Copies of this chain bind each other. A is one copy, B any other.
Amino acid sequence: MIFETQEETPEIREPLRRVGITNLRTVAKINWKGREYTFLPLIEATIDLPAEKKGIHMSRLIESVTDAMSEAVEEEVKTAHESLEELGKSVIERIERKHPHKRAEIWIKTHLIIPKKTPASGKTSYEPYDVEVGVIKNENGTFEKVLRVRVIGNTVCPHAMANNNGKTHIQRAVGELEVKADFNEEIALEDMIEVVESSFSSPTYTLLKTPDENAVVQRMFENPKFVEDVAREIFAKAKERFKGKIHVRVISNESIHKHDVIAETWS
């Protein structure tokens, strides 16, 4: 006989908005535009808990995640999910069959490696980006999604350039863009990455031969930007291209200071 302690009435009758599993490392596969991507994402999956139940059945969330993901890893499966958000939604659909709830969330955090061409020699360079996708089923049954990208770029100080006859300080900067939208909005993570990457003084590249390095240096000096300029450009481009609630944050790892500078805004 098994005691279902989770079904008991708790001492403190307080509904909870998000109960579940987090920091779960697993494997997933998606098939995007005919190309297969494998990920080793970090997963969080939660549901709400009503006031009158003591706990949720955590293992049912795990089974929902595992089943949706293993569809993707088992070799007999021919068609993988077409995006991280489709994969996320399929986890929630499994949770629906296993565990009563009114509201559910799934978050998938991974790296995306995208091939690019270097600016002068035209060689292929594999560029890494951090991405996170959240899928939220609201109490009224509608689905929303949250898409996040994190891109490494740079800032080139226009103030120092004006005051030092063209000399200035340059540093690595990190740009983050979040779009919260209706689930059915078509928003590609690759497009969000492009919006951020094109807003720095220059894009960055993993591989740079000397002519490429020169092209990046020239571009940086022609395009000096404060962290404020980068944030504004990402925000303006994102508002034009993506329908949804937009949040931008840029942090510049100053080369002349030990601290960072930040510019942030949201719609």
Q: How many Å from the CB of A30 to the closest CB on chain B?
A: 12
The oligomer's copy count stands at 4
Contact B160 A214 (CB under 8 A): yes
With A171-B255, A206-B259, A262-B21 in contact, is A70–B126 under 8 Å at CB? yes
A229 to B251, CA, bound (A): 28
A interface residues, how many (CB within 8 angstroms) = 101
Interface residue stretch chosen among A58-66, A138-146, A178-186: A58-66
With A26-B113, A160-B214, A229-B12 in contact, is A125–B236 under 8 Å at CB? no
- Interface check A110, CB cutoff 8 A: yes
Contact B170 A3 (CB under 8 A): no
A265 to B17, CA, bound (A): 5
A8-23 vs B, CB cutoff 8 Å, 1 = contact: the mask equals 0011101111111111
With A46-B264, A213-B256 in contact, is A206–B3 under 8 Å at CB? no
Cβ-defined partner of A20 (8 Å) among B169, B209, B261: B261
- Interface check A263, CB cutoff 8 A: yes
Residues of B within 8 A of A5 (CB): 158-159, 162, 226
Contact A220 B169 (CB under 8 A): yes
Q: How many Å from the CB of A256 to the closest CB on chain B?
A: 5
Cβ-defined partner of A255 (8 Å) among B20, B154, B214: B154
